[in-house]
């Protein structure tokens, strides 16, 4: 890239960050719609940060999760977040066609193969493997990726309890009988994909049962959500509706609400189930109606010290990506405008400078506030869904990305 082009890109980034797009509390009000050049600039920014990340990761066998006190925070390959970095590399490859991204995507995806093993025991397999191996397979069509995904889907399906109608989320938390968390909606896509790509066809029914049970018990009448529902593993009765990462059992944890919007939207796309669509819209409306002025939620919608509470920008990124898809399923341009407004606010106020050593894009995320863990930090999944949302906007202009999930599976 020439110096001149680079300067133009810096200028557009500076413009996005300093002027023009003023989000407003009413996310229905037209404020700022990201245009092609701005989207490309933000994707370029993502590429620059990923280049920095690759330098940080040289000679490491660990995956990036956050950044603290001037140091990269990494995880081993069994952490729930490990799929996001390879997923971003696949996104950059599909966007640019540049083999340098493919080589890195292959390398970091291969590192995760160990997670397919049948005794691996967590619902997070979808996050870990569908975001990495799933994209690898959709883009390359290589049978090895498919075989790994199918084996992973078998591991995930082993957590399904037919007496309850959901997959168990955290098998190691023995004080619960059969816990299911709202986040678990995100992992159903792997089961559906497997059911229609050579795996057991029953997995599609499992996924739909799980979604409908979550609709029944996690989603309240006003479309806010519980984080955790514990079921009796023998009778399927609800034993408790509680939180793990939110402020209180009755509160609404912002990222949980975002996972719900995304998960129910995806389930509507994959199954055509209108109950899922109703919940996706209801949860989206709740999310948008309860945002602060800059459209980036506090870590919990009911956090007691608002406005002096940490934000969770990761929830904004996840919701923005889901809202782009929800627009296509509902035909309601309100959701697309809301996605644009949220992304514009993130671009304006929540980006680390491009030149900083910190290899992340998005500031002010919160992992688990009650545990005082990862409060007001960058998180790899915020960056992932920010990039995905941008690509989804790009896809609306020029449909060509098979890795996005918004294309029906082949």
Q: Which residues would be at the binding site for ligand GLY (CB under 6 A)?
A: 80, 183, 245, 255, 367
| Nearest-angstrom CA–CA distance, 204 and 189 | 9
Q: Which residue has the tokens 């413009």?
A: 15
Which of residues 9 and 382 has its CB atom nearest to ligand GLY in the complex? 382
Q: Which is nearer to ligand GLY, 72 or 317 (CB)?
A: 317
Q: Residue 31 or 184: which CB sits closer to ligand GLY? A: 184
Contact 79, 86 (CB under 8 A): no
CB 185 within 8 A of CB 264: yes
- The beta strand positions in 49-133, using DSSP E, are 63-68, 71-75
Residue indicated by tokens 């949980």: 256
Closest to 409 measured CA to CA, from 88, 141, 81, 106: 141
Secondary structure string (H, E, C) spanning 142-172:
CHHHHHHHHHHHHHHHCCEECCCCEECCCCC
**Contact assessment for residue 334 and residue 28, using Cβ atoms and an 8 Å cutoff:** yes
Q: Which of 158, 198, 159 is nearest to 178 (CA)?
A: 159
Least distance in angstroms from the C-beta of 29 to ligand GLY: 30
* Active-site option among 183, 294, 300, 312: 183
Query: Shortest Cβ distance from residue 94 to ligand GLY (Å)?
Result: 25
Tell me whether residue 263 or residue 367 sits nearer to ligand GLY (CB atom).
367
Q: Provide the 10 A C-beta neighbour count for residue 170.
A: 18
| Minimum CB distance to ligand GLY, residue 81 (Å) | 8
Long-range CB pairs of 107-115, under 8 A, 24+ apart, other chains included: 108/63, 108/132, 109/133, 109/136, 109/145, 111/61, 111/63, 111/77, 111/86, 112/77, 112/82, 112/83, 112/86, 113/148, 114/77, 114/78, 115/77, 115/78, 115/82, 115/152
Q: Are the beta carbons of 100 and 55 closer than 8 angstroms?
A: no
CA distance 276 to 254: 19
124 catalytically annotated:
yes
3-class SS at 72? strand
The CA distance from 24 to 6, in Å, is: 31
Nearer to ligand GLY, 260 or 367 (CB): 367
Say which DSSP state 290 is in.
Answer: T
Q: Which is nearer to ligand GLY, 47 or 126 (CB)?
A: 126
- Smallest gap, in angstroms, from Cβ of residue 246 to ligand GLY? 11
Beta bridge partners of 230: 179, 240
Give min distance, CB of 327 to ligand GLY, in A.
24
Nearer to ligand GLY, 26 or 376 (CB): 376
Q: How far is the CB of 245 from ligand GLY (least distance, A)?
A: 6
Residue with Cβ nearer ligand GLY (44 or 386): 386
Taking the complex as a whole, how short is the minimal distance between the CB of residue 169 and ligand GLY, in angstroms?
9
In angstroms, what is the minimal distance from the CB of 1 to ligand GLY?
36
Q: Which residue is nearest to ligand GLY (CB)?
A: 183
As annotated, the active-site residues are: 124, 183
């Amino acid at each position: 890239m020439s110096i001149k082009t680079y300067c133009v890109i810096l200028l557009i980034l500076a413009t996005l960050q300093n002027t023009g797009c003023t989000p407003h509390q009413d996310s229905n009000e037209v404020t700022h719609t990201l245009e092609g050049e701005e989207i490309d600039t933000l994707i370029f920014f993502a590429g620059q940060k990923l280049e920095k990340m690759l330098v940080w990761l040289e000679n490491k066998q660990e995956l990036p999760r956050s950044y603290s006190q001037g140091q990269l925070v990494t995880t081993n390959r069994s952490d729930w977040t490990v799929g996001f970095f390879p997923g971003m590399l696949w996104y950059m490859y599909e966007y640019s066609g540049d083999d340098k991204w493919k080589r890195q995507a292959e390398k970091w995806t291969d590192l995760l193969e160990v997670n397919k093993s049948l005794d691996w025991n967590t619902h997070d397999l979808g996050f870990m493997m569908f975001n990495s191996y799933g994209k690898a397979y959709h883009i390359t069509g290589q049978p090895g990726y498919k075989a790994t995904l199918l084996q992973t889907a078998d591991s995930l399906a082993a957590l399904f309890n037919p007496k309850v109608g959901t997959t168990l989320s955290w098998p190691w938390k023995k004080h619960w009988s059969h816990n299911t968390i709202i986040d678990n909606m995100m992992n159903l896509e792997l089961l559906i994909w497997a059911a229609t790509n050579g795996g057991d066809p029953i997995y599609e029914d499992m996924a739909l049962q799980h979604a409908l049970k979550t609709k029944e018990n996690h989603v309240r009448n006003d479309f806010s959500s519980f984080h955790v529902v514990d079921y009796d593993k023998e009778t399927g009765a609800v034993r408790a509706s509680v939180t793990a990462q939110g402020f209180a059992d009755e509160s609404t944890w912002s990222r949980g609400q975002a996972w719900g919007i995304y998960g129910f939207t995806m389930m509507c796309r994959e199954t055509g189930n209108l109950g899922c669509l109703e919940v996706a819209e209801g949860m989206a409306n709740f999310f948008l109606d309860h945002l602060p002025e800059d459209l980036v939620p506090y870590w919990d919608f009911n956090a007691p010290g608002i406005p002096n509470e940490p934000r969770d920008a990761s929830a904004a990124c996840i919701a923005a990506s889901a809202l782009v898809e929800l627009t296509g399923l509902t035909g309601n341009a309100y959701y697309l405008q809301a996605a644009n407004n949220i992304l514009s606010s993130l671009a304006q106020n929540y980006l680390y400078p491009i030149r900083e050593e910190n290899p992340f894009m998005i500031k002010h995320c919160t992992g688990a506030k009650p545990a005082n863990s990862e409060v007001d930090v960058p998180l790899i999944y915020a960056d992932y869904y920010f990039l995905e949302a941008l690509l989804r906007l790009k896809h609306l202009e020029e449909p060509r990305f098979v890795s996005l999930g918004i294309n029906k599976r082949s």
